[in-house]
């Protein structure tokens, strides 16, 4: 019987995203084993200590880390080193990531404590190249003012689209994780009136109603980020930012049973459909990172922990 990590939990009020890259040290395997054991322990403890906080941690492992740690071969079928997707104007960049940590909790204290425990293990063997503190903005909106994740699968569909099933028995219960850190040009965005912003997104701003196919611009976000009802991903995007530095953004995070679904979406957004008809939101949101990870099932994490 397989059991997945908490990849399909619903978004919480507070999140910490961390990307770690290993140093070349002899203690690497021992530290990784301790990390896997800690992830399991912290998830169990969170469920016992306070169910209302809905605290959880998900560990993702990158392609290079999987190879260097000598984890089971062959690798998950679609775990690769992500390559940039270059459109005529915008690029989905590729950045290195050995481990991804996704911490969620209604109470920020849980996030901080769990991030601290993980850092205690990893600091001597890895560098943290990204640490992003996300927060819930009003009724699940991005900093751009529109509701984020309306097309997310609900109920049992979250497991169906977010977790590997019988199609890959060896890695059943696992999930592909793709992340990007977007920085928004809020000055340019706010120069648009509400109607112009709605045309970029393809939905109404106040009540989050999707435009009809006849009215929706072909280069709107909702038109190009959707690759079909039978090809969905589980998004757990969160806003983040530094107001004083005017650096506000969205941490895009997608769990999926197949990475090919995510790649199709990125291709439509950045290259366009047809070519050149790219997602207009990219004129206001720049992808600064892009990394692919694999999130093993709980039984596999236990095997890694030794």
C-alpha–C-alpha distance, residues 213 and 228, integer Å: 14
Region class of 294: left (phi > 0), else alpha (psi between -120 and 50), else beta? beta
The pairing of strands 14-22 and 175-184 is unpaired
pLDDT digits (tens, 9 = 90+) for 234-266: 999 999 999 888 889 999 999 999 999 999 999
pLDDT digits (tens, 9 = 90+) for 161-217: 999 998 888 999 999 999 999 999 999 999 999 999 999 999 999 999 999 989 999
Residue 44's φ and ψ, nearest 5 degrees, are -65, -45
C-alpha–C-alpha distance, residues 296 and 60, integer Å: 7
C-alpha–C-alpha distance, residues 161 and 175, integer Å: 9
C-alpha–C-alpha distance, residues 17 and 182, integer Å: 13
For residue 148, indicate whether it is catalytic.
yes
Closest to 184 (Cα-Cα) out of 245, 139, 234? 245
∠17-225-177 over CA atoms, to 5°? 30
C-alpha–C-alpha distance, residues 5 and 142, integer Å: 26
> Residues 152, 148, 15, 187: what is their CA dihedral angle, to the nearest 10 degrees?
160
C-alpha–C-alpha distance, residues 230 and 88, integer Å: 28
User: 102: exposed, middle or buried (C-beta count within 10 Å: 0-12, 13-18, 19+)?
Assistant: buried
Choosing from 98, 148, 236, 279, the catalytic residue is 148
Q: Where are the beta strands (DSSP E) in the chain?
A: 14-22, 56-62, 85-86, 91-92, 99-105, 126-135, 175-184, 234-235, 238-242, 247-256, 285-287, 291-295
C-alpha–C-alpha distance, residues 69 and 6, integer Å: 23
Q: Which long-range contacts (CB under 8 A, 24 or more apart) does 279-282 make?
A: 279/219, 279/220, 279/221, 279/224, 279/225, 280/199, 280/200, 280/217, 280/219, 280/220, 280/221, 281/200, 281/201, 281/221, 282/87, 282/89, 282/90
pTM to 2 decimal places: 0.95
Per-residue pLDDT of the chain (306 residues), as tens digits, is 479 999 998 878 999 999 999 997 656 778 999 999 999 999 988 777 766 678 999 999 999 999 999 998 899 999 999 999 999 999 999 999 999 999 999 989 999 999 999 999 999 999 999 999 999 999 999 999 999 988 899 999 999 999 999 888 899 999 999 999 999 999 999 999 999 999 999 999 999 999 998 999 999 999 999 888 888 999 999 999 998 888 899 999 999 999 999 999 999 999 999 999 999 999 999 999 999 999 999 999 999 998
């Amino acid at each position: 019987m397989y059991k997945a990590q908490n990849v399909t939990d619903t978004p919480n009020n507070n999140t910490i995203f961390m990307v770690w890259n290993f140093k070349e040290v002899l203690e690497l395997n021992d530290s990784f084993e301790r990390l896997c054991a800690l992830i399991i322990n912290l998830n169990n403890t969170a469920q016992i200590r306070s169910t209302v906080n809905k605290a959880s941690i998900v560990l993702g492992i990158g392609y290079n880390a999987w190879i260097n740690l000598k984890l089971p071969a062959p690798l998950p079928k679609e775990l690769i080193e992500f390559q940039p997707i270059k459109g005529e104007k915008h690029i989905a960049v590729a950045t290195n990531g050995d481990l991804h940590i996704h911490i969620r909790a209604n109470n920020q204290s849980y996030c901080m404590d769990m991030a601290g425990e993980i850092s205690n293990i990893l600091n001597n063997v890895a560098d943290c190249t990204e640490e992003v503190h996300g927060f819930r903005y009003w009724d699940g909106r991005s900093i751009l003012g529109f509701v984020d994740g309306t097309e997310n699968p609900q109920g049992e569909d979250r497991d169906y689209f977010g977790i590997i099933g019988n199609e890959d028995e060896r890695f059943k219960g696992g999930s592909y994780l793709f992340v990007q850190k977007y920085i928004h040009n809020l000055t340019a965005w706010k120069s648009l009136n509400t109607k112009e912003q709605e045309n970029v997104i393809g939905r109404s701003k106040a009540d989050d109603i999707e435009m009809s196919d006849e009215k929706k611009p072909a280069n709107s976000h909702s038109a190009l980020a959707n690759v079909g009802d039978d090809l969905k991903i589980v998004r757990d995007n969160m806003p983040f930012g530094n107001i004083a530095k005017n650096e506000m953004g969205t941490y895009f995070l997608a769990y999926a049973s197949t990475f090919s679904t995510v790649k199709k979406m990125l291709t439509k957004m950045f290259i366009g459909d047809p070519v050149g008809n790219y997602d207009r939101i990219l004129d206001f949101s720049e992808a600064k990172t892009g990394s692919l990870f694999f999130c093993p099932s709980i039984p596999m994490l236990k095997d890694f922990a030794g």
